[in-house]
Amino acid sequence: MEPFTRLDAVACPLGLANVDTDQLIPARFMSRPRAAGYGSFLLHDLRYDDAGATRGFLLDTPRHAGARILVARRNFGTGSSREAAIYALWDFGIRCVIAPSFGDIFASNAVKNGLLPAQVTEEAAETLIAALERMAAPRLAVDLVTMKIGGAGSDIGFTLDPVRRLQLLNGWDDLDLTRRHAAEIAAFRARRLAAHPYALPAQD
């Protein structure tokens, strides 16, 4: 996994609340192989009309070309557990989403793919959205070491679970960590199945 330390990049003030993962990637695209890239599926139905022509959605305006940061309102990534929502963000180029709250599964999926879900207060999100709308060239600098967002007046702090922060900073993969516990896992399995026989399904 690609480590995340600091990102100074074009930021798009999405400004929407309750952006669910069905909007991030509509279900009909999820049978496609990842190899071809999921970037064009990101927020597809907000960005394209029925003929496939762009609707001029904020993310597609020249002002936000090359955006790697999104700023949204509360409950971003709510809903379906589809990790394809992260693939769509990632393949489009987004590396960080800033919002007052995230769906739990979305936030977990994000970190496992190297994407930073930076949580800020409602007020801070409003400040960032207003500042980005005013800027001639909308950019923010997100620093995972100092946990600060710069570029919109005085620095704004954000939060992230410390374990997830370390994982992102180091680009750690869960599996490498888990394998170190192989003996404990085997011992636990044996104990559990012996003490709680129902844990093993009866044969049908």
Q: How far is the CB of 153 from another protein (least distance, A)?
A: 20
CB of 11 to another protein, least distance (A): 18
State residue 46 phi and psi, 5-degree precision: -85, -25
Cβ proximity to another protein: between 17 and 135 the closer is: 17
Q: How many CB atoms lie within 10 A of CB 59?
A: 18
The one among 8, 45, 60, 91 contacting another protein by CB under 8 A: 45
- 105: amino acid identity, one letter: I
Q: What residue type is 163 in one-letter code?
A: V
Evaluate whether 4 touches 137 at the Cβ level (below 8 Å): no
Does 162 bind another protein (CB under 8 A)? Our answer is yes
Of these, 10, 17, 135, 147, which contacts another protein (CB under 8 A)? 17
Nearer to another protein among residue 31 and residue 154 (C-beta): 31
Angle between helices 84-92 and 104-112 (to 10 degrees): 50
Please tell me whether residue 47 binds another protein under the rule CB under 8 A.
no
Please name the residue that has the structure tokens 């999104």.
70
| Residue 17, φ and ψ in degrees, nearest 5 | -100, 160
Structure tokens at 140: 């923010």
Residue with tokens 């609340």: 17
Question: What is the size of the binding site for another protein (CB under 8 A)?
Answer: 60
Per the CB < 8 A criterion, the answer to whether 158 and 107 are in contact is no
Select 52 or 66, whichever has its Cβ closest to another protein.
52
Q: Which range of residues in 4-12, 53-61, 134-142, 169-177 is near another protein by CB under 8 A?
A: 169-177
Q: How far is CA 22 from CA 52, 90, 97, 103, 123, in A?
A: 18, 16, 17, 13, 26
What is d(CA 68, CA 122) in angstroms, rounded to the nearest whole number? Answer: 21
Taking CB under 8 A as the rule, does residue 198 contact another protein?
Answer: yes
Single-letter amino acid, residue 4:
F
Residue 40 as a binder of another protein (CB under 8 A): the answer is no
- Give the residue, chosen from 60, 126, 143, 155, that forms a contact with another protein under the rule CB under 8 A: 126
Residues near another protein (CB under 8 A) are: 15-18, 20, 22-23, 26-28, 30-32, 34, 45, 50, 73-75, 78-84, 86, 101, 103-105, 108-109, 112-113, 126, 161-163, 166, 174-175, 177-179, 181, 184-185, 188-189, 192, 196-204
